A and B are shown apart, each in its own frame.
Chain A
Amino acid sequence: MMGSSTVPSVLSTKVKEMIPSAKVLVVGAGGIGCEILKNLALSGFSDIEIIDLDTIDVSNLNRQFLFRKEHVGKSKAEVARESILNFNPSLKIKAYHDSITTQQYGVNFFKRFKVVLNALDNRAARNHVNRMCLAADVPLIESGTSGYSGQVEIIKKGITQCYECQPKPPQRTFPGCTIRNTPSEPVHCIVWAKHLFNQLFGEADAENDVSPDTADPEAAADAGNAALEKQAQEDGNIQRVSTRQWAQDCDYEPAKLFNKFFQDDITYLLSMENLWKSRKPPKPLSWSEAASHEGDVNEEDNVTATDMKVWSINRCARVFSETVANLKAELKGNKFLVWDKDDQDAMDFVTACANIRAHIFSIPQKSRFDIKSIAGNIIPAIATANSIIAGIVVLYAFRVLAEEYDQCKAIYLRQKTSGFKGILVPDNHLVKANPKCYVCSEQPSVNVFVDVNGMTVKEFETEILKKSLNMVAPDALLEGKMVMVISSEEGETESNDNKKLSELGIMDGSVLKVDDFLQNYELTVIVNQYKAENKEDPPYKIVADPNDLKAKAEENQNGKEKDSNNKMETDDSNDDVELIENNGVVDDPQEGTSSKRRKLNLPDDDDDDLIMLD
């Protein structure tokens, strides 16, 4: 009925003929995904598949225009399909309400498409689709936006770099002792408050302790504290009873909880004198003191007053008490609660606790609105940037069909700034693959720096192979000894899980052959013995080329941060203090929608419900 008449007339005859029958996969039906689907349908693409595991949320509706209020809670992929069919019923569209990382979407699934269009919001899913497209040798158009900025790039095996050719900056994490002992920024207090939520109501996690950490290397130098040290447990926690147990024992009485976390623990921290030699010491705050603080002058119940203004300490204490009572009630009948930025009590609790702690440490307090941004790791998103980026994506889809890859240089959308004319800025040339890429090179290999005597096989699998190297179901074989270290088959290597790496004969210089069947990805992992010495050091490191480590160290010394394949130096803002993301490059563009989430220090969550796939 509509068929080829909608194909843009100025395209080459070859492309015009290809468009109606070209099978296209859109991964993600979020902000960019909706716009891409519209552009595809209007341009004559008639065979489209769309996959997304998310459901629609109210906060999506300001840009994900294929959805309306009555769709909240429904599958994004399915509603997007209906909306597009409503515009043109003759199209062939298949929707999957599912995660792209599951086993059923293997290499053969990907091979069916002429081109894959990514509209994702997280790095893990991007990495995965990158590998699947490399394995299936299907061209991939990768895109993302973050606020006013965005980017589009083409990934084609053998012609361009892949998504993982350049090391990406690691997720931001904070040393445990900064969170527990010596916060200096609002974000430290917010992370602590989320940990406190988990300690009191969430799933048990020893890593997220909130009490003073006496194993702090800075405090350990404190000679006068030998007695206290002895009291402390080896792992640095002063309590023998778990925080949860203790809270239950005192029936979550707000005053008791408040006094422990904001008075007693702080008094204890003060006794670790070394910490306060060059820092302003915290001031313990008791429940009765907090209550005697002045309340908010005008405590209206509207958005501006509740969300935009910083609460008084008095109000924080009151909210603390109310939310503890509500969350305690909610916990009944549940094993644990999962923190969610859109749950009012959970969000109010974190706002109150973060601000009380900030007050104690003389750190600026923040509004509920601002704390939600940080705690929920919310990336702002607007319709206009998505519309622009999705336009480029589909223009590049035309060129990919014509195999004009050299005409598909990466393009950056930048916020307009004074003194710089560029808004949509293409790269000067197509970026070639990194010959040392641990994903797309001929024989991929990577150096992993871990403590072979401290790390268990399970930790190696979860932290290194899955979380950092983004594998889904890896098998690992120790070369030379032919020892099966990890198997993706159930029941084969479970007995290794709790063994240290060294117990299986893995040591400095060992080589592991790691294979992910789903991703059709084989990787040689070279193990290097490494132990974190300073508290700022990461617990482990992963490097494609060990020479990069040296180069990085030098770069840091110069205090300059430069992206090798971004040509934004022409900007007038050439000095050190300008924010990198302001230069038009998005580190980890979030818009689109998630296919996989990871459990991190700050969750890799954007605007939607927290879904754990572990």
Chain B
Amino acid sequence: MAQPILSKAEAELYDRQIRLWGIESQEKLRAANILLIGVQGLGSEIAKNILLCGINSLTILDDATVTEEKITKNFLLDRNSIGKNMAQSVLLKAQSLNPLVKIVVDTNNISVKQKEYFDSFTMIVATDLKSEDILKLDNICREKKIKFICGNVYGMFGYSILDLQEHEFLEEKVSLPPKKRTHEGKPLAQSLEKIITKVQRKIVYPNLKQVLVPTVPVSPKKTLKRRNILYYLVLVLNEFRDAVGRYPLYTERKEDLKKLKELKDSVAKRFELNSEKFNDNLLNVIFGEIPPICSILGGIIAQEVIKAVSCKEVPVHNLFLLDPYTFSGSEELICH
């Protein structure tokens, strides 16, 4: 960092967000070094949001090659990028989003990275990875006390999983002063000065193995029943990705649906799920990467990064699940 104190130019640029999360949070963001793995549709949304908020550096790692299909789903690419490396191709437009952030491009695959590679990062954000890579990364993050979040978009469905290990943060509770009344009980004009109370809190996260490779059936049946059914969809989709090596494709719809149904039935059996609740219809809407869903998940994941880095506000503990039909988005605790 060039200067320890926020410059006047930065204060002007970030004014509207400093008014929300305060100057201390902005200073913490300004010192953060983030690694983003995967810069497809979802990744580019995450990159946009965390670049805009003003971190110190963003490393974008992606070894994929830009295809015609990819440019239509990614606003950081254009036609000139076809055939080139993904991470390399997004650099120009990513940098123009915020010239104050240092951007590093890495065209390698995550699997070739040594442990030391991760030392300098404050937080790692991963999209589009196999379970095996995610679990390996999570272990490294736990060892090095690096905060970790991963997420994916499957058609109309999207989710994120957070591992902040032992996370301490400040929660601000905003309230209005109690209403004053006269002796007759008539309300007096209320003061509108907000009262802000800061509470220091701590959340302990389970590791990602407990989420992605759950042992069955350890949790009592009652917990299983109350669980958001979309969690099991995460398991099905992850198993599909691990087995087939890619996302379900609309062009391979028939084949992929068959495979998905098999996996779904096996998950349903393992967890004794009600087939009415966990039905096949869910599988029809999970094809492709839908841009507005990326926009939502990109916002959610970036917001979790901001909260985690600044140690302020209540983070999601530990899954965020977006309902593909109602677009209701809620937190789910998975901890076995």
Contacts and interface: CB of A to CB of B under 8 A. Distances in A.
B15 to A, nearest CB: 5
A383 B49 contact: yes
Contact of B97 (A59, A65, A187, A417): A65
Given A8-B288, A559-B187, A388 B295 contact: yes
A307 B7 CA distance: 12
Given A39-B291, A579-B176, A303 B8 contact: yes
B72 A556 contact: no
Interface in B128-148: none
29 contacts: A10-B290, A38-B75, A42-B74, A42-B291, A61-B13, A69-B99, A87-B75, A185-B193, A302-B5, A303-B6, A303-B7, A373-B19, A378-B15, A383-B52, A384-B53, A387-B49, A387-B298, A388-B300, A390-B292, A390-B295, A393-B292, A394-B292, A395-B156, A417-B314, A421-B330, A421-B332, A423-B330, A426-B326, A579-B174
A42 B299 contact: no
B306 interface: yes
B80 to A, nearest CB: 12
A112 interface: no
Given A9-B288, A65-B52, A41 B75 contact: yes
Contacts of B189: 536
Given A10-B284, A62-B16, A576 B75 contact: no
Interface of A: 2, 5-6, 8-10, 35, 38-39, 41-43, 58-59, 61-63, 65, 68-69, 86-87, 147-148, 172, 184-187, 302-304, 307-308, 369, 373, 378, 380-388, 390-395, 407, 409, 411, 415-418, 421-426, 536, 556-557, 559, 576-579, 582, 607
B11 A307 contact: yes
Nearest to A6: B72
B171 interface: yes
B23 interface: yes
B104 interface: no
Contacts of A385: 299, 303
Interface in B226-280: 250
Interface in B287-336: 287-288, 290-296, 298-300, 302-303, 306-307, 313-316, 320, 322, 325-332
A10 B283 CA distance: 11
Contacts of B15: 59, 62, 378, 607
A479 B13 CA distance: 55
Nearest to B328: A426
Contacts of B315: 416
Given A59-B13, A394-B291, A607-B16, 19 more contacts: A5-B72, A38-B75, A61-B13, A62-B14, A148-B20, A187-B193, A302-B5, A307-B11, A382-B16, A382-B303, A383-B48, A384-B300, A394-B292, A415-B313, A416-B307, A418-B314, A423-B316, A577-B175, A577-B176
A407 B96 CA distance: 38
Nearest to B315: A416
B179 interface: yes
Given A10-B155, A378-B19, A392 B327 contact: yes
Nearest to A178: B189
Given A62-B13, A62-B52, A423-B329, A39 B295 contact: yes
A175 to B, nearest CB: 9
Contacts, number: 211
A61 B290 CA distance: 26
Given A42-B75, A59-B16, A577-B176, A304 B295 contact: no
A10 B250 contact: yes
A29 to B, nearest CB: 15
B111 interface: no
Nearest to B322: A424
Interface of B: 5-8, 11-17, 19-20, 23, 41, 45, 48-49, 52-54, 69, 72-75, 78, 96-97, 99, 155-156, 171, 174-179, 187, 189, 191-194, 201, 250, 284-288, 290-296, 298-300, 302-303, 306-307, 313-316, 320, 322, 325-332
A319 to B, nearest CB: 17
Contacts of A421: 330-332
Classify the secondary structure of B's interface with A: mixed
A304 B23 contact: yes
A185 B195 CA distance: 13
Contacts of B326: 409, 426
Nearest to A580: B176
Contacts of B23: 304, 308
Given A10-B155, A421-B331, A422-B328, A63 B6 contact: no
Contacts of B69: 5
Contact of B288 (A10, A62, A308): A10
A54 to B, nearest CB: 15
Contact of B12 (A59, A63, A65): A59
Contacts of A68: 96
Contacts of B298: 387
The listed residue with most A CB atoms (<10 A of its CB), out of B96, B193, B290, B313, is B290
Contacts of A61: 13
A383 B288 contact: no
A384 B302 contact: yes
B270 to A, nearest CB: 25
Contacts of A58: 12-13
A147 B172 CA distance: 14
A401 B287 CA distance: 21
Nearest to B195: A577
Nearest to B303: A384
Given A62-B17, A172-B192, A39 B292 contact: yes
A503 to B, nearest CB: 35
B330 A422 contact: yes
B295 A391 contact: yes
B16 A378 contact: yes
A415 B49 CA distance: 17
A422 B314 CA distance: 12
Contacts of B192: 172, 185, 187
A385 B174 CA distance: 19
A275 B6 CA distance: 45
B292 A556 contact: no
A422 to B, nearest CB: 5
A463 B20 CA distance: 33
Nearest to A606: B16
Contacts of A415: 313
B27 to A, nearest CB: 10
Nearest to A387: B299
Contacts of B322: 424
A168 to B, nearest CB: 17
Closest 7 CB pairs of A and B: A424-B329, A391-B295, A387-B299, A42-B291, A391-B296, A380-B20, A388-B299
A62 B300 contact: no
Nearest to A68: B96
A557 B186 CA distance: 8
A303 B178 contact: no
B262 to A, nearest CB: 20
Contact of B5 (A86, A304, A381, A579): A304
Nearest to A393: B292
